[in-house]
């Protein structure tokens, strides 16, 4: 190898090394959130002792951001429904996001059903899709009770 080629090779390797030293921390800080473990902590929704039977009640909850990069927490609506099933109280907690195109559904006291205003989707009090275009029931949040205090976490399940 000629001296000239050797010097070019050394210069190129030095440049590559310096570039790697500068780029590694930047690339690492950009990509590291992807590999962080995501958790879904329980969030205290509130005391549900006064939630009446068969009367869906909306609560606002702020789940901590679990996405890789920081985005503002978006408040979510959780509908809590108490039902009397064969003498036992059944508790359901629904997302208010329509399963058709993700509009916000609300409990319509005249219809006695959840109504999606976008395309007229209807859901029963159990969250079952009973009319209009929604293809699935409303999603349910995982919840747990501590006495009369309800906790939910940002994990959705299908009915
Ligand atoms: S988005 Fe709810 S019916 Fe279409």
**Is the shortest distance between the CB of 138 and ligand 1 below 6 Å?**
no
Give the pLDDT confidence score for residue 28 in this predicted structure: 85
CB 119 near ligand 1, within 6 Å: yes
Dihedral class, residue 132 (left if φ above 0, else alpha if ψ from -120 to 50, else beta) = left
Task: Return the number of other C-beta atoms located less than 10 Å from residue 55's C-beta.
Answer: 12
Q: What is the pLDDT, as a whole number, of residue 37?
A: 72
CA–centroid distance, 56 to ligand 1, in Å, is 19
Question: Model pTM?
Answer: 0.77
pLDDT tens by residue, 90-140: 999 999 999 999 999 999 999 999 999 999 999 999 999 999 999 999 999
Distance CA 98, CA 106 (A): 10
pLDDT digits (tens, 9 = 90+) for 15-72: 999 999 999 988 888 887 777 777 788 999 999 999 999 999 999 999 877 556 666 7
Q: List the residue whose alpha carbon is closest to atom 1 of ligand 1.
A: 101
Residue 76, pLDDT > 90, answer: yes
Residue 147 has pLDDT above 80, yes or no: yes
Q: Domain extents for the chain? A: 1-36, 43-157
Q: Of 72-81, 84-93, 110-119, which range is least confident?
A: 72-81
Residue whose token pair is 């009090």 = 125
Closest ligand 1 atom to 117 CA: 2
Task: For ligand 1, pick from 101, 104, 108, 127 the residue to mutate: most ligand atoms within 8 Å of CB.
Answer: 101
Tell me how far apart the alpha carbons of residues 38 and 19 are, in angstroms, rounded to a whole number.
32
Give the architecture (CATH level 2) of 43-157. 3-layer Sandwich (2.102)
Q: Is 114 in the pocket of ligand 1 (CB under 6 A)?
A: no
Going from the Cα of 118 to the center of ligand 1, the distance in angstroms, rounded, reads 5
User: In a 3-state reduction of DSSP, which class is residue 26?
Assistant: helix
User: For 12, phi and psi rounded to 5 degrees?
Assistant: -65, -45
Distance 78 CA to ligand 1 centre (A): 18
CB 65 within 8 Å of CB 74:
no
pLDDT of residue 67: 59
């Amino acid at each position: 190898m000629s001296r000239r080629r050797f010097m070019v090779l050394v210069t190129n390797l030095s440049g590559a090394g310096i570039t790697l030293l500068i780029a590694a921390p930047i690339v690492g800080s950009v990509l590291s959130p992807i590999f962080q473990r995501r958790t879904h902590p329980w969030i205290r929704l509130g005391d549900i002792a006064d939630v009446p039977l068969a009367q869906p009640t909306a609560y606002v909850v702020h789940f901590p951001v679990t996405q890789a990069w920081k985005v503002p927490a978006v408040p979510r609506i959780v509908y809590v429904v108490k039902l009397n099933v064969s003498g036992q109280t059944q508790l359901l907690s629904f997302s208010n996001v329509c399963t058709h195109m993700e509009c916000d559904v609300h409990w319509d006291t005249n219809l006695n059903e959840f109504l999606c205003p976008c395309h007229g989707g209807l859901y029963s009090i159990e969250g079952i899709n009973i009319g209009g275009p929604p293809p699935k029931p409303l999603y349910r949040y995982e919840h747990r009770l501590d006495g009369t205090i309800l906790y939910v976490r940002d994990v959705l399940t299908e009915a």
